[in-house]
Structure 1
Amino acid sequence: MPEGCTIIAHGPEVFDTGDIETVSAALHPEEIIVAGVMARTAAEESGFPCWFNTRPPSLVIRHLPPETDAWLLNRGKTPASGEEFGRIVASRSDRPVYHIECSSRTVFGWNGADPGLTEEAARRLGFAAVFKTADVRTPEGCMREIRGCIPGEPVFVNGIVIGHATAEIAVIAPDEEGLRAVSGITLKAHGIEKLLRNGPVDISRAWCKSGAVRSQGAQVAERRAPSGRIAVIDHAACDIYSQVDTDTCGVVSIGDDTTAVCGHICAHLGIPIFGVTDGDADTVVDHSCCRGSVIVEVTEGRDDEKGLEIASTIPPAPCHWDCWVTDTLCTRRDIRIVRDAR
């Protein structure tokens, strides 16, 4: 019986759609661990009791006690992408994985999962039980396949949009300039630059996905007190929860997509943002933001350099967010306001 199991909930959709309540009522888990930044936001908004972990699901599973069964809960944007996600997690895990895929109403038993447990969970949920083996794919030339794409949607590597899908399977490979498109994707030069800013990327182990990071709008909280510490997020929205705390009065976000994600998460936390963009945005999430926020677009150069220049003017804490924002807008002639929520 699956009672007392540990569920690793991945992605905001399992909270936004109510999957978590359905699965918890059926399986009575001992604990629920949330993997993913936007999943944490959705979980906090839902009020469902969970633990939060910054590691990807496969590493969460590796750190579970040896006797604990791992139940992965996911809702892929399509059944194909949901199954592919489970295959990737299972191929990187050190034990059998029980994968509840809500998009296809399937419980997958990966890599020798106990048939009795798999079938019992499927019966309780009214899902089908399917057994598979997740082999580790090593395509020729160290290519990486990103499956389950919808043509036109953004493709991410390690949280950075590197291009847009043109087919169901996007294939990339390393080359002397960083990455090249093999098939099914049009690369975005600025995205590749951002991805490689800190050195080469091992695409065989990188976190890759396609599509929006959340389809539901944020629940905008009441704004926090305006005095405290200002945090900076530079093209790495996945770091947001490690950078903000109870003393944070505002966030400077650098990059179009980073600003969209930070605005969404910070709206839920009641933290205003100062977003520095250059008009290079993709549709990755709705553009929510908290009262007190301002989003600017640079009129000279790129958001990378201008954002760091602006961030360098942040005074030591405690400082007053509204005063700093007003001073910044008054003294800089290389930016223009594109959204003002003050």
Structure 2
Amino acid sequence: MNLVMVVHGPEAFDAGDAERLIGLLSPRRVLVAGVMARTAAEESGLPATCTDERPSVVLAGLAGQACLVNRGKTPESGRIFGELVAGRLEGLVHVECSSGTVYCWNGGDEGLAAEIADLTGYALVHATSARARQDGVREVRGCIPGEAVFVNGIVVGTATAETVVLASEGGTLRAVSGLDEKPHGIEKLLRAGLPEIAAAWCKSGVVRSVPPRQGRRVSRGGRVAIVDHCGHTLYRELDDEVCGVLAVGDDTTAVCGHICSHAGIPVFGVVDGDADTIVAPGYAPGSVVVEVLDGRDDDLGREVAATRDLLADCWEEWVEETLRTLGDRVRVVLDLRGG
């Protein structure tokens, strides 16, 4: 089998699916789609190439045999995800590990689907993705009421139904149904420009449920990277010169702390207490998180980014000076400088 396996999300690595399927299918290449999937893949030590693209883009660029591997939070949400990806392609073979199913979407490679089903013992299901899309409207299906809903990596509210309907109109984004809006989150999203909602990256639920593995501490001096309310962009900022990350926002700090824990990079997080608990916590030694006592993390985070030298001879000294500068405007809620 001359197969390329595209793995989406961290769950397939965390649950052992990716390792099992690599052993059974012997793919010539494994590609990883998703920010937390990259973290989980790196922690697993499995041979894989990480990408910054969504699965449909990765799959559309491949020639020859390819399949999508996913583990949805439920079998239904896994099927819905496969349908969404399939709707952007000519055909798709989708291995859904949550239900033990190989979906052959929209007349995909039936021979490949049957071979994978035979090797894995999964059920083979032929399916069609044919949902019409309405301009300016987006359905986020497979939600569990009470979980966070994301648009382009930013939490815009909490699901109140299994399907959330969003609409972009009049220069803003609004919830049509199924969402308890988070106005500050929508404000952060719009700050970067109103997204084309039909093509935006939308999801619900936690971004990873298991804690990160601790990595070896990086150099204590170098560049301080800034990630402001866009934790999913972190990997674009990381290079060998980075000694720490200035993370602005509760969820952004949580995501950066999780990813950087494995990378051995400490985080200085600026939060204001509106976290949505979207990822299992974890921070590298040297990390510090401060909560703003008056105002919002947006403003104070930008102030730190604008006024502090982002080249640090020593991360601990940079943190200490930053704390002195902020004074009694913040309180320290996490301090791992003893590690």
Q: TM-score range by the shorter chain?
A: over 0.9
Of 142-151 and 274-283, more deviation after overlay is shown by 142-151
Q: Is the 8 A contact 1:178 1:200 kept in 2?
A: yes
Aligned to 1:59: 57
For residues 47-71 of structure 1, give each alpha carbon's deviation from its aligned partner in whole angstroms, at most 9, with x where no partner exists. Answer: 0000111010111112213xx1220
Q: Is the 8 A contact 2:12 2:69 kept in 1?
A: yes
Q: How far did 1:323 drift?
A: 0.8
Match of 2:94 in 1: 99
The superposition leaves residues 112-171 of structure 1 with CA deviations (integer Å, 9 ceiling, x where unpaired) of: 1132221221111111111112225313x6321111111100000100000000111111
Work out whether residues 222 and 241 of structure 2, in 8 Å CA contact, stay in contact via their aligned partners in 1.
Answer: yes
Give the RMSD, CA atoms, in angstroms.
1.3
Q: 2:6 aligns with which of 5, 8, 19?
A: 8
CA distance in 2 between counterparts of 1:136 and 1:245 reads 41
**Match for residue 142 of structure 2 among 135, 138, 148:** 148
Q: Secondary structure at the match of 2:216?
A: coil
SS in 1 for 2:191: coil
- The answer to whether 1:298 aligns with 2:292 is yes
1:161 aligns with 2:155: yes
Q: What's 1:335 paired with?
A: 330
CA, structure 1 residues 173+316, in 2 after alignment: closer, same or farther (shift >3 Å)? Answer: closer
What secondary structure does 1:6 align onto?
A: strand
Aligned pair 1:278/2:272, yes or no?
A: yes
The aligned counterpart of 1:71 is 67
Contact 1:69 1:97 (8 Å CA) reproduced: no
The CA deviation at 1:200 is: 1.1
Q: TM-score, normalised by structure 1?
A: 0.95
Whether the aligned pair in 2 keeps the contact of 1:254 and 1:277 (CA below 8 Å) is yes
Aligned residue among 255, 259, 264 for 2:258: 264
1:32 alignment partner in structure 2: 30
How far residue 247 of structure 1 moved from its aligned partner, in angstroms, is 1.4
Corresponding residue for residue 77 of structure 2: 81
Instruction: Find the residue that maps to 1:312 and give its secondary structure.
Output: helix
1:172-206 deviation digits (Å, cap 9, x = unpaired): 11232612221111110001001110211111001
Alignment of 1:238-253 (within 5 A): 238-253=232-247
C-alpha separation in 1, matches of 2:32 and 2:336? 31
Matched to 2:333, the amino acid is V
1:226-275 deviation per Cα after TM superposition (whole angstroms, max 9, x unaligned): 11111000111111111011111000000100000000000000000000
Partner residue in 2 for 1:309: 303
In 2, Cα distance between equivalents of 1:262 and 1:27: 33
How much does 1:319 deviate? 2.8
Aligned AA for 2:95? I
Q: Is residue 323 of structure 1 aligned with residue 317 of structure 2?
A: yes
Counterpart of 2:126, as a letter, is F
> Which ranges in structure 2 are unaligned for 5 or more consecutive residues?
none
Tell me whether 316-325 or 122-131 shows the greater mean CA deviation.
316-325
TM norm structure 2: 0.96
1:189 aligns with 2:183: yes
C-alpha distance in 2 between matches for 1:248 and 1:236: 18
1:324 Cα offset (Å)? 0.9
SS of residue in 2 equivalent to 1:45:
helix
Distance 1:293 1:17 in 2: 28
The residue number in structure 1 matching 2:208 is 214
| 8 Å Cα contact 1:38/1:214 also seen in 2 | yes
1:110 aligns with 2:110: no
Secondary structure of 1:196's counterpart equals: helix
| CA contact 2:65–2:112 (8 Å) conserved in 1 | no
Partner in structure 2 of residue 180 of structure 1: 174
Alignment of 1:132 with 2:132, yes or no, is no
Structure 1: distance between partners of 2:215 and 2:162: 37
Contiguous gaps of at least 5 residues in structure 1? none
Residues of 1 paired with 2:310 and 2:211: CA distance?
Answer: 33
Q: Give the conservation status (yes or no) of the 8 Å contact 2:312–2:318.
A: no
Q: Which amino acid aligns with 1:64?
A: L
Select 1:120's aligned residue among 115, 123, 148: 115
